[in-house]
Structure 1
Amino acid sequence: MAWLVVVSAACGGCSAAAEDPKLAPVEDVRGSYTLDRETGSITFPVDRFGVTAQEEAVLGSAGSVVLETCARARGVEFLAWESRYVPEYEASTLYGVWTSSLVERFGFVAPMSDADLRANGVMTESPLDVADTGATGQARDWGLIDPSPDAENVLAECRDSAEFQAVDSAQFYRGEAWTVPIADASHAVERSAPYEDLADDLHRCLRDEGLEPDGLSVEGADPSQISAEQIELALRVVHCKDEVDFVHRAVVEVSRAQLPVVERYEDELTAHRAAIDEALDRAQEVLAGSDLG
């Protein structure tokens, strides 16, 4: 199987590896993972067979169109919505804050849309740019217009229909043969000697900076507010993670642990990805014939 490695820098298309030798792909896992410092996304070997955030948006939009058609055919008023792709949700928080571009916007807060910042009660020093939308950035008038018990029953029947099931992304998260082995392999890394050495390197750097480590973060970090003080503190944490190449080294260890599992279940994973592609093809057909297309 061919793998592609991408280690992106804030300069767009240029490679961080070209500027920083520490980020060069490690040979035995070359091409099996991606790190993107601009978006904050991390992709492990098994992730290439799953649904991406952009694909989730397509499937979600198509599913709402199917529900609208089904519900209205049964006399229930329902409005489809566009599931918008929010790039902030590409960012991985698995290793805490790790990219300066996102830290400068969010501090220790998990990256999210302004609408979700408001909905989650995150405190900010500047006004949020939130239009008249719901917490997920959707228009307010969507879904069941009159959510009566009878209408809810009709909608439940529509969700059970073959048409909806064909584009429902939930079918791809029900646990597969590789799910537990991948999780076990990934979690085992956190108990390994290389990872413990990596954590020690990080904690040493943080203490040299005058900070007290708290797991992969530091004391004083507040994931519920965005302020100049929190951003400055988070940038110091990112500095140490860059200094010891923490995230890259951790991702290499997890990728190294996942690859044997991916190889063992390659046929099943390939079939899983093919099923996702089939659902996406159907979703595009649904959207092409709708007002959202």
Structure 2
Amino acid sequence: MKVVCVTGASGFIASWLVKLLLARGYTVHATVRSLDDPKKTGHLQALDGAKERLSLFKADLIEEGSFDCAFNGCVCVFHTASPVMFTVDDPHAQLIDPAVKGTLNVLKSAAKVPTLKRVVLTSSMSAVMFGVDIPQSSVVDETWFSNPLVCEQKKMWYFVSKTLAEEAAVKYSKENGLDLVAINPGFVIGPILQPTLNLTSEGFMNFVKTGKEVFRDGIYRLVDVRDVANAHILAFENPEAKGRYLMVGNMVRSSVIMKIIEKLSPSLGFSQKYKETNCPDSVPFSISRARAESLGVEFTPLEVTIKDTVESLIY
């Protein structure tokens, strides 16, 4: 049985990744910041196969060598751990250092493991398409990169952290002979496994309950959490996988989401909201799914994702 490690295993994407890995017969090492917090570990230990094939390890992103024990004997490291926040007092201490230095600490530990075949990095669309001009009708693909200087000027600190972390990971991996593949998800929704709300789920729940937009332009780059987790596994299992893979199943305006929610859950009262909206259904550009689909990803239909999300968060 192959042994793999998932960093930040209590998170939204990571919890699903652990679940799917166990379902596929992997032995999983999972790192968390605290082994004493049942909110971080209980849902993982309750997964099918966890009793036999899941081991929990304490690890801290900013502590070099912290991941050595967890990575020992692994053939793949799935590095999902990174802080997610959009309002910060100290962007370097709260976001940039844990993201960049934390990623480098993970890679330094990975480089010590002779059995390791690949590192799969959870990056973000935040590292792809921000701080740059996107012409009308463009198709954004894996060749696009965010401009961290522009993002910094605009105080878009999360976008800075994800961009710099991916850049640092690619540079270190090339210099040290690590096989690195990056997964770049958009706005991740879907049913949650962890007992506490993550940031994207909380934002989407507020939108569903109140109609308050998550994004000012009303455009959502949505992807199902189960598709993102599956993409990570495919990125390891496919020996031809390389570079980065954008994971956006659907790029839609809020009016489209409102119509779907009204169809699925009329009791939430979205009918009047989407009738009153002046926002068109069309979007000004698109995001390529070609490389993700070449990896074997089959994107979950949007209505299924929204239905499962609403049922998980609201009911």
TM-score bracket for the superposition, by shorter chain length: under 0.3
TM-score of the aligned structures, taking structure 2 as reference length: 0.24
Identify, as 1 or 2, the structure richer in strand. 2
Structure ranking higher in helix proportion: 1
TM-score w.r.t. the length of structure 1 is: 0.25
Q: Which has the larger radius of gyration?
A: 1
